[in-house]
Structure 1
Amino acid sequence: MNDTGRQSRHLGIHIDRTVGEVYAYASDPANLPAWAHGLGGSMERVGDRWVAESSPMGRIEVAFVPRNELGVLDHHVTLPSGETVHNPVRVIADGAGSEVVFTVRRQPGTSDADFERDASAVAADLARLKEVLEFD
């Protein structure tokens, strides 16, 4: 298939904490700066969205799905251009711990190098989430 706009990569990491603990922490947008460095150093609540003024991309808005019992952490990131990117994320049971799975979707027009860079950034964010939850 040549349609690069439909390519996805599922990145997961095991975290030695319960699903409830991981979900409670990761679903709180105020915690994003501690582990999702691509979204900036601070998040501020504005209505039902969270805004990062100082992200590497400029001002972005993040809107999570409502809290739920299924471990769904999907969120939309609205970029400075006005484009909105949907990010599917799940927290699932993995033995006594959890697995966090983030689906990186290749956006139309994204080069191979940029797609790899996006996936690497998400993998680094997941590693930081693991570090924060297991070692802090």
Structure 2
Amino acid sequence: MLAHTESVTLEAPFSVAYPFLSNPENLPRWAHVFCQDIEKQGSEWLAQTVAGPLIIRYACDAASGTIDIISRLDPGVEDIAYTRLMPNGPGCEFTFTFFRTADMSDEIFDSQRWGLREEMRALRAIFRELVG
């Protein structure tokens, strides 16, 4: 499968960035191209996305800096976006990787790549604002 990875340097310490990024309620703040709204439903979250409602859950491990976003596409079918936050001096590096699914068109894949770039820019701006 074809993969796409973006990374961004965040001007915030890990102790500030990890709690923000690992909280699904913040997803619409930084991943605004993908997710316009989100609400908790039991142990999962219902995200309102450009493609319609999507059930997601997070798999997080602060020790390794992982914050994986698992989307349920259909019953028994999941797609995972792998992310990692790494301390880098006084700030952090955040990487986000997604894979092109078998049924994804070139146009959708290109659109998702563009959207992720925009979201990384938004994330950088959010942390500049949060940290001052």
TM-score normalised by L of structure 1: 0.84
Matches of 1:123 and 1:131 in 2, distance apart? 13
Confirm or deny that 1:98 pairs with 2:88. Answer: no
Q: Would the aligned equivalents of 1:104 and 1:118 in 2 still touch at CA under 8 Å?
A: no
Residues 57-88 of structure 1 show CA distances to partners (whole Å, capped at 9, x for unaligned) of 11111100144321100111124x55421110
Q: Which structure 1 segments of 5+ residues have no match?
A: 1-5
2-side partners of 1:40 and 1:10: how far apart?
A: 18
Aligned AA for 2:20? Y
In 2: Cα distance, 1:8 partner to 1:20 partner: 29
- SS of residue matched to 1:12: strand
Q: Quick check: which one's strand share is greater?
A: 2
Q: Please give the root-mean-square deviation of Cα atoms over the aligned residues, in Å.
A: 1.7
Instruction: Give, as a single letter, the amino acid of the residue that structure 2 aligns with 1:21.
Output: V
Match of 1:129 among 117, 123, 126: 123
Selected match of 1:36 from 28, 31, 34: 31
CA deviations 1:75-103 (Å, max 9, x no partner) are 11124x55421110000122221111001
Deviates more, 1:17-26 or 1:65-74: 65-74
- Check conservation: 2:80, 2:98, Cα contact below 8 A: no
Indicate if the aligned counterparts of 2:34 and 2:115 stay in contact, CA closer than 8 A: no
1:14 equivalent in structure 2? 9
1:50 counterpart (30, 45, 61):
45
1:102, 1:61 → 2: CA distance? Answer: 19
Letter in 2 for 1:16: E
2-side partners of 1:21 and 1:123: how far apart? 22
Contact 1:51 1:59 in 2 (8 A): yes
> Structure 2: which 5+ residue stretches go unaligned?
none
Partner residue, 1:26: 21
